[in-house]
């Protein structure tokens, strides 16, 4: 007769307990960093759009609006990742709309 060994119920319960404890430690830090990621994503989007404002201005010799940048395919979004709309002021500076 072969002596086949497998995991016992106790061993499986210990492994599940360890995984549960690790998840309890990891999940709160992940959700806490979610807001930081969104704000950094918005900053990156603003920097990207600001660069495209410069490219548009160099090609067309005028400051664009967000709609012109989007319509001419310079950008593919007019909002930050958190869905706040972007605006370009009269000096060509990109920012988040206060609306």
Domain contains 28: no
Identify the pLDDT of residue 3: 64
Domain contains 52: yes
pTM score, whole prediction: 0.63
Domain contains 22: no
Identify the pLDDT of residue 1: 58
Domain contains 18: no
Measured over all CA atoms, what is the biggest interatomic distance in the chain, rounded to whole angstroms? 87
The total of structural domains in the chain comes to 1
Question: Quick check: 76 and 66 in contact, CB under 8 A?
Answer: no
Cβ-count burial of 94 within 10 angstroms (0-12 exposed, 13-18 middle, 19+ buried)? Answer: buried
- Which residue from 81, 57, 80, 61 is spatially nearest to 69, judged by alpha carbons? 57
Identify the pLDDT of residue 36: 73
- The ranges of the chain with pLDDT < 50 are none
Identify the pLDDT of residue 38: 74
Domain contains 15: no
Domain contains 2: no
Domain that holds residue 57: 33-96
Identify the pLDDT of residue 52: 94
Identify the pLDDT of residue 7: 74
């Amino acid at each position: 007769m072969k002596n086949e060994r497998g995991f016992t119920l106790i061993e499986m319960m210990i492994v599940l307990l360890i995984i549960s404890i690790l998840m309890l430690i990891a999940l709160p830090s992940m959700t806490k960093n979610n807001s930081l990621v969104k704000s950094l994503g918005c900053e990156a989007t603003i920097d990207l759009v600001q660069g495209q404002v410069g490219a548009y201005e160099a090609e067309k010799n005028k400051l664009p609006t967000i709609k012109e940048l989007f319509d001419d395919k310079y950008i593919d979004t007019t909002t930050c990742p958190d869905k706040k709309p972007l605006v370009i002021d009269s000096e060509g500076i990109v920012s988040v709309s206060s609306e």
